[in-house]
Amino acid sequence: MSLTIVGTVAFDSVKTPYGKVDKVIGGAATFAGWAASYLYQHVQLVSIIGDDWPEAEMDKMKNRGIDTSGIEIVKGGKSFYWEGEYDKNMIDRTTLTTDLNVLDDFDPRLPGHYKESEFLMLGNLTPEIQQQVISQMTKKPKLIVMDTMNFWIDIARDSLIETIRKVDVLSINDEEARLLSGEYNLLRAADRILEYGLQYLIIKKGEHGALLFSKDNMFFAPALPLAEITDPTGAGDSFAGGMMGYLASQGDISFEHMKMSLIYGAAMGSFCVEDYSIRKLQSLSKDIIKTRVKDLIELSKINIEA
């Protein structure tokens, strides 16, 4: 059993009204991989970097047991670079720079032992790259989850929908769900999107939690209210990593397990935003995570009889 995560391993520069960091460790696969690694032992990453990405950071991932053999290192190449600035509300952000660099030529080749992964997480990349990864799997995974962004909904709708038809779960935010479905109301949006043949749909609503939909069921997972948010970058990817790490550890994708996976996702997302980059994610323990999961469960427990 293993969990394969495909996505960017990058450098980010982040500016908020309260502070800034330049060229720190980022990337969707980095956040998701770190988040998953506390919940599940066999996490495998697929990405591409230049030889400018710190070897020490690669070693830290390896020391946590993350398999990095699927990360291609391009000699003399530059890693993906993203720069963003957050609004006062610490939710809305403007992308200032996206330098694809080595990602421009990304042609993922899965190492042999990745091809039988039972859990596959496709981070936000071109729908073609996401499909290329799916087609390399020699055994049908138990669960394929994919993320995407408004950019692909706008410019590559057809191939995006083709990719969605090949996966089990789509994880997107509320604005993306509206854009993809053409429906403002999220229940209607969910109905439309589930028609692409998905088993589950997750709609993330940032600090307002996340919704899980199947054809017949719905669940709401709250986000933990935090007094201070340092850097929201990577929260969505940490959420996905937490969710996938939990599901892989259980080996079960029933609706009840999906519900719990959203709580683990919310916990990992809440840690991520407490510091810049992956700093907080690198300093966690199973006990700290367990306490936060309990806090989240307490937060929404109602002990009155209807």
Residues near ligand AMP (CB under 6 A): 8, 10, 12, 26-28, 82, 98, 124, 233-237
Beta bridge partners of 15: 20, 85
| Nearer CB in complex with ligand AMP: 21/258 | 21
Instruction: State the distance between the two ends of the chain, measured CA to CA, in whole angstroms.
Output: 42
In the numeric block, which tokens belong to residue 292? 């936060």
| Nearer CB in complex with ligand AMP: 45/118 | 45
Backbone φ, ψ for residue 175 (5° rounding): -65, -40
Q: Give the nearest distance from C-beta 84 to ligand AMP in angstroms.
A: 7
| Nearer CB in complex with ligand AMP: 118/237 | 237
Q: Give the nearest distance from C-beta 69 to ligand AMP in angstroms.
A: 21
| Nearer CB in complex with ligand AMP: 110/129 | 129
Q: Give the nearest distance from C-beta 227 to ligand AMP in angstroms.
A: 20
E strand or H helix that includes residue 67? strand 67-74
**How many CB atoms lie under 10 A from the CB of residue 265?**
30
Beta bridge partners of 145: 121, 169
Q: What is the residue type of 196?
A: Y
- What is the distance between the alpha carbons of residues 143 and 251, in angstroms, rounded to a whole number? 10
- Torsion sign over Cα 258, 259, 264, 267: positive
| Nearer CB in complex with ligand AMP: 234/242 | 234
Q: Give the nearest distance from C-beta 163 to ligand AMP in angstroms.
A: 15
Q: Give the nearest distance from C-beta 137 to ligand AMP in angstroms.
A: 21
